[in-house]
Amino acid sequence: MKVGWLIAHPLVKKMAFQRFIDLHPGWFVVIFPVYFLTLWLLVSATISLVGGWFSLAKVYRLRVPFNGAKWGMQRAQMRWWVNYKNVLTIGVSQEGLYLAVVSLFRFMHPPLLVPWSEVRVRRSKGWFFEYVTFTIGHELTIPLRIRGNLAVKLQSAAGNHWPVEET
């Protein structure tokens, strides 16, 4: 009787791992934090790459403290429907548009300062809200979509530095 396929079956392997953890519970204390941290960093890196933050950081990474008006716990959507829900700090200054992620999600998300000359602005209507889409970079063209009420605050703080809006 052939049982080789049974040993290689994923369910049997999962049961073997569970048996190992049952026999050596101390290893779970070591394995789980490493697993969790690895998964956390992998998800953060994937979001940065897919959404475009990683590409923007190559050009617009901020290396000094930001000096301007900023609003924390904001939400935005970037390329390919990557959502940053209540984890962004968005700000404006004479120099440009500031973007940062809360420190818990900072892996591969360094703070950014995009010069106004590299930002295009377009307003659009959704089903329930007005949105403003910033297209960042002339060559990169990474979208950043925020709600209209936040854009009003940003525009007010930016004053005459705010880019001319596209129609």
Q: Which CATH number covers residue 153?
A: 2.30.29.30
pLDDT of amino acid 166: 81
Instruction: Provide the residue range defining the domain that includes 23.
Output: 1-167
Do 94 and 39 meet the contact criterion of CB atoms below 8 Å apart? no
pLDDT of amino acid 96: 94
pLDDT of amino acid 23: 81
Do 139 and 156 meet the contact criterion of CB atoms below 8 Å apart? no
When divided into structural domains, the chain yields a total of 1
Do 56 and 139 meet the contact criterion of CB atoms below 8 Å apart? no
pLDDT of amino acid 26: 78
pTM over 0.85, yes/no = no
Q: In which residue ranges of the chain is pLDDT below 50?
A: 5-7
Q: Which two tokens stand for residue 44?
A: 């953060």
Q: Are strands 119-125 and 130-136 parallel, antiparallel or unpaired?
A: antiparallel
